Amino acid sequence: MPKYRCINFGDCESAKSNKEFEIEGEINPRCPDCGGVLEDILDGGGGGGRLKKIIIAAIVLLVILGFGWFFLSKPKKTEPKPEPMPVVEKTEKAPAVIPIEDQRVRDMVDESIALMKNGKWSDARQKLLAARGINVQDDAVVYYNLASLDLRQKKTADARKNLATSIQKGFKYWDVLNEDEAMRSLFSSIKQYSSSVQKTVT
């Protein structure tokens, strides 16, 4: 049975003497002597009073809330996202730009290169054919670009012929040729000219 003690120490003898009362079934029991408020205490059998039960329940609730907050607030481990591989666009290599003495020939070669980039093979060829003979010293470069155009159109025989003509007319930019794999391969197939210029190729 729940036990209580009066806490009205100023006016109640029961409070002064710490007298205990056993009261059952009342929500807010009062002191039988003074009518004051009673304090819930431990009963003689070791059971918990109402106050003790409230305190224990509050402690349990705080522990539960504490564990819940700990696990919910714990940062989650995230795997680092792999960096995307850079996208490298494949571009068709344009014919090399080689020094040209005559500005008219330079303009026509530049225009033909721009036309090649846009796939206008016929117009590019007309520009290069028109550039032949304007300046004999520039013909080697003109024929070199004609050979490059032939390779783009898969005209290997014509490309070989034009590259051979370029070499005959004094083509000397071997470093540029070596940087172009297709032209380098074409040059290697021209047997009659390979031996004569081999020593000058870098």
* H/E stretch holding 130: helix 121-131
Per-residue pLDDT of the chain (202 residues; tens, 9 = 90+): 678 888 887 888 888 888 888 877 777 788 888 888 888 776 444 444 556 667 777 888 888 888 777 777 766 666 677 767 655 454 455 544 577 888 998 899 889 989 988 999 999 999 999 988 888 888 888 999 899 899 889 898 898 899 889 888 888 888 887 787 888 788 887 755 555 555 444 4
Predicted confidence at residue 146, as pLDDT, reads: 92
Task: Yes or no: say if 5 and 19 are a contact pair by the CB < 8 Å rule.
Answer: yes
CA distance 35 to 78: 65
Predicted confidence at residue 75, as pLDDT, reads: 65
Which residues lie closer than 8 Å to 48 by C-beta, 6 or more apart?
42, 56
Predicted confidence at residue 86, as pLDDT, reads: 59
Q: 22 pairs with which residues across the strands? A: 3
Predicted confidence at residue 125, as pLDDT, reads: 92
Q: At CB < 8 A and 24+ separation, what contacts does 86-92 make?
A: 92/117, 92/152
Predicted confidence at residue 6, as pLDDT, reads: 87
Q: Which residues of 52-83 are buried (b: 16+ CB within 10 A; e: fewer)?
A: eeeeeeeeeeeeeeeeeeeeeeeeeeeeeeee
Q: Which residues of 136-165 are buried (b: 16+ CB within 10 A; e: fewer)?
A: eebbbbbbbbbbbbbbeeeeeeebbbbbbb
Predicted confidence at residue 77, as pLDDT, reads: 65
- Position 69, amino acid: W
